Amino acid sequence: MIVGDVNPGAALATVKQLFEAIPARTVPARPKIALQRLKAATIEVDSDLPYGLAAVAYRLPGFNDPDYAAGVVLADALDSRRGELYALAAEGKALSGGFDATALPAAGFGYANAAFPRGQDSATLVTQMKAIIAGYVDKGVSADLVEATKRREVAEAEFRRNSIAGWPLNGRKR
């Protein structure tokens, strides 16, 4: 990448001079990914945070999966302020609650998460989060919440499309 006030012809000539003699080589094939069945595990970490964090993770489709878009909508619906995970805080069972997701090409993961006061046992909160997700698995996410989530996704995509990240930069034009 070349940036700045450059002479394109001179820059290209310099690039060719520096790199043209490097021979091309075949890129090795990417290894096949064979996802294994997930195994439940519990991880506890000591922390100096003034609150505790609990998370329950699940596998979601990766961004190369045809179900990726559905996974994004699901994750955002689960994170909705109208959802049961968010309600954990409103009901006084947690300081906060929600759902977050990350995707890689072959697979992604999502996790129900909640913060709780220092000294509170996280086991009850983890059980409640698992029950909430199990309820969604059993009964599904309400159609109106899915529809609202889709509308929000479309709106956010439009906002991103019509935005220049970081503009203006400290009040200066780029």
Superfamily of domain 51-161: Metalloenzyme, LuxS/M16 peptidase-like (3.30.830.10)
Interval 95-132: pLDDT, tens:
999 999 999 999 999 999 999 998 888 999 999 999 99
Predicted TM-score of the model (pTM): 0.73
* Spatial CB neighbours of 39, under 8 Å, sequence gap ≥ 6: none
Length of the chain, please?
A: 174
CB 112 within 8 A of CB 137: no
Token pair 């090409």: residue: 105
CA-closest candidate to residue 162, choices 173, 174, 154: 154
CA-closest candidate to residue 72, choices 146, 129, 163: 146
Mean pLDDT score across all residues of the chain: 90
Interval 16-61: pLDDT, tens:
999 999 998 999 998 888 888 888 888 888 889 999 999 999 999 9
